[in-house]
């Protein structure tokens, strides 16, 4: 275990000092905050730099799985939980049921604020409205010109990570997710798998406390947001849902994993490309990778089992989606076979999960 770190500073010019942190984390999403919390609990001085003014809000459907995060979060964070999954395709409809709730929904803003409160109480400094614009091997500089020096840098800055770019890693496998936050009462969690509509992805209705996230994810960005929106709108209309004044929001999901440890620099979550290319699930991988990187920084390098298992699943999901996306007919057959397999019990819904 490293000894507790004292905040250092160095003089770089006359009367100009730069603060040195044991670890600087760029991004206060679930990955960055999970990493920061674990480090601070072990008396490591951590600085988190967050671009947005408020921690939490993120384009996301907010789905978490029973085996992944449902049991790790307090009940007050859970918006709705589901024992039944309604799975539709062009040729079939089925309902998968389980004694435990398979999936629950959370509000990303509430999750972010809950994690922020925890890390601040552990002693982490989180600076919001502080985008990082430049990185060197030792320092980061924010848009307002402040410079901070680090011994270790963690890129937890999402799918368009500046740390990943600094490391020279491409992000060729980035899917696109679009969704509306629609008001109203929704009871059923619905997945729609049909390549004629959503290419190599799916459409969803994920009910929340006072509305639902209704959206679509595609693994390849070829369709483009405009055409995907048209297809999603058509599907929503078929369900008789009125999106009212809800605004469509879009976000990229990076599944191009190429490692997470690069000397004194680390990548976690979407920055590392750890989201599933098949489903777009990324909150659980972000939290586990954040905690694992913290363990490594604390010298507990052996504790990587959970992340190793995510990486294996993530690679399996990647192989499947790459195969499916070679041909629309093949994709359709694979999806229909999967649903048939679910109906007759040779596949498990949990095969789709990252946990």
Ligand X SMILES: Cc1cc2nc3c(=O)[nH]c(=O)nc-3n(C[C@H](O)[C@H](O)[C@H](O)COP(=O)(O)OP(=O)(O)OC[C@H]3O[C@@H](n4cnc5c(N)ncnc54)[C@H](O)[C@@H]3O)c2cc1C
Q: Which residues bind ligand X (CB under 6 A)?
A: 26-32, 49-52, 58-63, 131-132, 156-158, 162, 177, 179, 215, 251, 253, 269-271, 275, 280-284, 286
For residue 329, the minimal CB distance to ligand X (Å) is 27
**Tokens linked to 150:** 């680090």
**CA gap 273, 286 in Å, rounded:** 9
Q: Between 295 and 332, name the residue whose CB sits nearer to ligand X.
A: 295
Residue with tokens 């368009």: 160
**CA gap 187, 9 in Å, rounded:** 55
Q: Provide the 3-class DSSP secondary structure of residue 216.
A: strand
For residue 279, the minimal CB distance to ligand X (Å) is 8
For residue 77, the minimal CB distance to ligand X (Å) is 14
Q: Between 145 and 345, name the residue whose CB sits nearer to ligand X.
A: 145
For residue 85, the minimal CB distance to ligand X (Å) is 13
Task: Identify which of 24, 79, 60, 132 has the alpha carbon closest to the alpha carbon of residue 284.
Answer: 60
**Tokens linked to 18:** 């730069």
**CA gap 18, 274 in Å, rounded:** 33
Residue with tokens 């098949």: 278
**CA gap 329, 194 in Å, rounded:** 10
For residue 16, the minimal CB distance to ligand X (Å) is 23
Q: Between 100 and 299, name the residue whose CB sits nearer to ligand X.
A: 100
**Residue 133 CB partners (closer than 8 Å, separation 6+):** 141, 142, 143, 162
Task: Identify which of 202, 178, 228 has the alpha carbon closest to the alpha carbon of residue 61.
Answer: 178
Q: Between 320 and 332, name the residue whose CB sits nearer to ligand X.
A: 320
Q: In sequence order, what E strands does 261-338 have?
A: 261-262, 265-267
Q: Between 20 and 267, name the residue whose CB sits nearer to ligand X.
A: 267
For residue 50, the minimal CB distance to ligand X (Å) is 5
Q: Between 51 and 332, name the residue whose CB sits nearer to ligand X.
A: 51
**Tokens linked to 177:** 């997710």
What Cα–Cα distance (Å) separates residue 326 from each residue in 224, 258, 319, 323? 17, 22, 11, 6
**Beta bridge partners of residue 267, listed in sequence order:** 155
For residue 330, the minimal CB distance to ligand X (Å) is 25
Helix axes 283-297, 305-324, angle to 10 degrees: 140
Q: Between 128 and 264, name the residue whose CB sits nearer to ligand X.
A: 128
Give, for 58, the enclosing helix (H) or strand (E): none
**Which stretches within 139-216 are classed as H helix?**
162-166, 195-198
For residue 179, the minimal CB distance to ligand X (Å) is 5
Q: Which residue is nearest to ligand X (CB)?
A: 282
Q: Between 195 and 273, name the residue whose CB sits nearer to ligand X.
A: 273
């Amino acid at each position: 275990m490293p000894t507790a770190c004292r905040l250092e500073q160095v003089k770089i010019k006359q009367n100009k000092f730069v603060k040195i942190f044991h670890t600087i984390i760029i991004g206060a999403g679930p990955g960055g905050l999970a990493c920061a919390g674990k480090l601070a609990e072990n008396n490591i001085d951590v600085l988190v730099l967050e671009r947005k003014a408020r921690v939490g809000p993120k384009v996301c459907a907010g789905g978490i799985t029973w085996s992944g995060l449902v049991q790790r979060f307090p009940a007050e964070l859970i918006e709705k939980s589901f024992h039944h999954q309604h799975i539709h395709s062009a040729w079939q409809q089925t309902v998968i049921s389980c004694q435990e709730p398979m999936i629950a929904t959370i509000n990303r803003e509430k999750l972010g604020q809950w994690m922020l409160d925890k890390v601040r109480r552990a002693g982490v400094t989180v600076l919001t409205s502080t985008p990082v614009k430049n990185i060197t091997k030792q320092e980061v500089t924010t848009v307002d010109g402040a410079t901070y020096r680090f011994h270790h840098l963690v890129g937890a800055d999402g799918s368009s990570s500046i740390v990943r770019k600094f490391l020279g890693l491409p992000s060729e496998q980035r899917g696109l997710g679009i969704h509306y936050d629609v008001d109203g009462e929704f009871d059923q969690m619905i997945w729609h798998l049909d390549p004629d509509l959503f290419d190599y992805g799916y459409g969803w209705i994920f009910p929340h406390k006072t509305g639902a996230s209704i959206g679509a994810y595609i693994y390849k960005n070829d369709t483009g947001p405009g055409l995907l929106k048209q297809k999603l709108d058509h599907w929503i209309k078929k369900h008789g849902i009125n999106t009212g004044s809800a605004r469509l929001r879009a976000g990229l999901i990076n599944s191009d994993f190429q490692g997470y440890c690069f000397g004194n620099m680390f990548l976690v979550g979407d920055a590392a490309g750890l989201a599933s290319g098949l489903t777009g699930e990324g909150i659980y991988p972000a939290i586990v990778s954040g905690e694992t990187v913290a363990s490594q920084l604390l010298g507990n390098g052996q504790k990587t089992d959970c992340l190793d298992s995510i990486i294996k699943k993530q690679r399996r999901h990647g192989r499947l989606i790459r195969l499916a996306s070679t041909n629309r007919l093949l994709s359709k057959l694979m999806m229909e076979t999967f649903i048939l397999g679910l109906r007759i019990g040779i596949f498990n819904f949990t095969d789709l999960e990252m946990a």
